[in-house]
């Protein structure tokens, strides 16, 4: 007579099957994102911060090999002993060192074919690990696999934005995909506001479900009354800032921001082409679908924190804190324009009432520095380097973008970048304190 299986065993088996399916799906999507590329595209690195597609494909594979296969799969045969040096990004505690970030595009070898062979070698081994891992070890494997899958989804977004950065460097302005949909040229939806009363909120991720360590611990924050714009700032509104001399008036800028735009010669967002006195019809913008006319109704993007803050100062407003942003988004569904929708570009806001575009379209700069939450402790070991060691001199962004996977976005997600960086799909919405 067959005995009943313990309920926790059935639950563990279900989790294992689900994670196996997620692993296959996410690994497949990375390769699907590379299907429009030709072989010459895989090694491009036009700026230090944007890595070659070939490197991304190999690095996410290195992550599984380093943190899962080597420690947990007995007799795992390492694909190549030097890949642990070539495709480590910044993990010092692995003890292997890493190839300089700015020189990733100098590596003609391994070939693209060899990188795909590496991926398939690791995929086969990971499927064996997921299927055969002993039940007493599975919880630790499951935790690391969750990080690995989310890590690969982060690099899928980087694949998209880095390809755009590389293609924009080419005077031919090639399209990554010429078949991408295009929104009709339109005027922006009217800017409206939602007000929130003073209250004590809980900020951050709770104990259940996946979240990065920097989203925890959940803690209490008191908010004064504030209002937040119902949609992000648009291209059309940003054109008004440019036309009013926004890039020529130091009064709007933080000191570091003013020094940055003077040093870099910025006079408009990244990927815009036109003149400060041009009409909206004269501006063009580089997209993953090639060059297009600038659409005034689309959320402005590819902005530094400095530019977002300067616009807010010019407008007599400010950027929301991350606590204000999370409060505003807390009762909204995680729905919007994500990479799954295959626009790969921000879309105009719908002309409806209430808060819109909190998720997807553009990552939204907040006025909050990227710092640890009260009580935060970085995990021990190399995986503790994932987030904790970057908690200095960076700013928090929220909400996800048109290059983010829908099932990768969540309310508590804290993205972070240096204030001068622009190549991600970054925009912003305005806020103000209610007196």
Mapping DSSP onto H, E and C, the string for 220-247 reads EEEECCEEEECCCCEHHHHHHHHHCCCC
The reported pLDDT for the residue numbered 305 is: 98
β-partners of residue 9 are: none
The reported pLDDT for the residue numbered 14 is: 79
The reported pLDDT for the residue numbered 5 is: 43
Radius of gyration (C-alpha) of the chain in whole angstroms = 23
pTM over 0.85: yes
Say which residues have a Cβ less than 8 Å from residue 5's Cβ, sequence separation at least 6. none
The reported pLDDT for the residue numbered 6 is: 43
Q: How many residues in the chain?
A: 435
| Cβ atoms within 10 Å of 173's Cβ, excluding its own | 15
Q: What is the DSSP string of 312-361?
A: HHHTT-BPPPHHHHHHHHTTS-S-SB-GGGT--S--PPPS-SS---SSBS
CB of 196 closer than 8 Å to CB of 328: yes
The reported pLDDT for the residue numbered 11 is: 57
Exposed (0-12), middle (13-18) or buried (19+): which is 172, by Cβ within 10 Å? exposed
CA 112 to chain centre: 25
Q: What strands, in cross-sheet order, belong to the sheet with 426-427?
A: 415-417, 395-398, 363-369, 426-427
3-state secondary structure of 265: coil
CA 403 to chain centre: 7
Phi, psi of 18, deg, nearest 5? -65, -40
Phi, psi of 264, deg, nearest 5? -90, -10
The reported pLDDT for the residue numbered 195 is: 98
Structure tokens at 258: 């003013």
CB of 414 closer than 8 Å to CB of 396: yes
Cα separation, 267 vs 177, whole angstroms = 28
What tens-digit pLDDT sequence spans the chain (435 residues)? 334 444 444 556 678 999 999 999 999 999 999 999 999 999 999 999 999 999 999 999 999 999 999 999 999 999 999 999 999 999 999 988 999 999 999 999 999 999 999 999 999 999 999 999 999 999 999 999 999 999 999 999 999 999 999 999 999 999 999 999 999 999 998 899 999 999 999 999 999 999 999 999 999 999 999 999 999 999 999 999 999 999 999 999 999 999 999 999 999 999 999 876 767 789 999 999 999 999 999 999 999 999 999 999 999 999 999 999 999 999 999 999 999 999 999 999 998 889 999 999 999 999 999 999 999 999 999 998 899 999 999 999 999 999 999 999 999 999 999 999 999 999 999 999 998
């Amino acid at each position: 007579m067959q005995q009943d299986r313990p309920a926790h065993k059935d639950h563990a088996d279900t989790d294992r099957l689900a994670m196996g399916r997620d692993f296959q799906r996410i690994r497949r999507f990375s390769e699907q994102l590379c299907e429009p590329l030709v072989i010459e595209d895989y090694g491009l690195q036009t700026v230090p911060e944007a890595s070659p597609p070939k490197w991304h494909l190999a690095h996410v594979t290195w992550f599984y090999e380093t943190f899962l296969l080597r420690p947990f799969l007995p007799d795992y045969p390492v694909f190549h002993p030097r890949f642990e040096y070539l495709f480590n990004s910044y993990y010092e505690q692995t003890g292997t060192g890493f190839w300089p970030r700015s020189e990733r595009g100098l590596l003609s070898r391994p070939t693209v074919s060899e990188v795909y062979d590496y991926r398939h070698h690791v995929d086969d081994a990971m499927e064996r690990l997921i299927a055969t891992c002993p039940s007493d070890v599975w919880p630790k494997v499951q935790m690391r696999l969750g990080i690995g899958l989310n890590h690969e989804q982060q690099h899928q977004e980087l694949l998209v934005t880095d390809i755009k950065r590389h293609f924009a460097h080419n005077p031919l302005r090639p399209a990554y995909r010429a078949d991408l949909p295009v929104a009709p040229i339109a005027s922006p939806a009217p800017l409206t506001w939602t007000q929130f009363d003073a209250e004590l909120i809980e900020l951050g991720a709770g104990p259940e479900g996946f979240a990065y360590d920097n989203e925890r611990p959940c803690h209490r924050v008191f908010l004064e009354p504030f209002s937040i714009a119902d949609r992000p700032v648009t291209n059309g509104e940003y054109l008004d800032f440019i036309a009013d001399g926004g890039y020529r008036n130091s009064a709007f800028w933080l000191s570091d921001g003013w020094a940055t735009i003077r040093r870099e010669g910025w006079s408009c967002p990244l990927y815009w082409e036109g003149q400060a006195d041009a009409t909206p019809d004269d501006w063009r913008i580089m997209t993953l679908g090639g060059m297009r006319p600038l659409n005034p109704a689309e959320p402005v993007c590819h902005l530094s924190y400095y530019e977002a803050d300067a616009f807010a100062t010019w407008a007599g407003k400010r950027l929301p804190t991350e606590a204000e942003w999370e409060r505003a988004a807390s009762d909204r569904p995680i729905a919007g324009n994500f990479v799954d929708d295959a626009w790969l570009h921000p879309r105009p806001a719908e002309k409806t009432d209430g808060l819109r575009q909190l998720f997807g379209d553009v990552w939204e700069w907040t006025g909050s520095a990227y710092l640890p939450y009260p009580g935060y402790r970085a995990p021990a070991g190399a995986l503790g380097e994932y987030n904790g060691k970057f908690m200095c001199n960076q700013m928090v962004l929220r909400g996800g973008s048109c290059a983010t996977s829908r099932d990768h976005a969540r309310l508590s997600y804290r993205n972070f970048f240096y204030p001068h960086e622009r190549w991600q799909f970054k925009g912003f919405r305005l806020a103000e304190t209610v007196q």
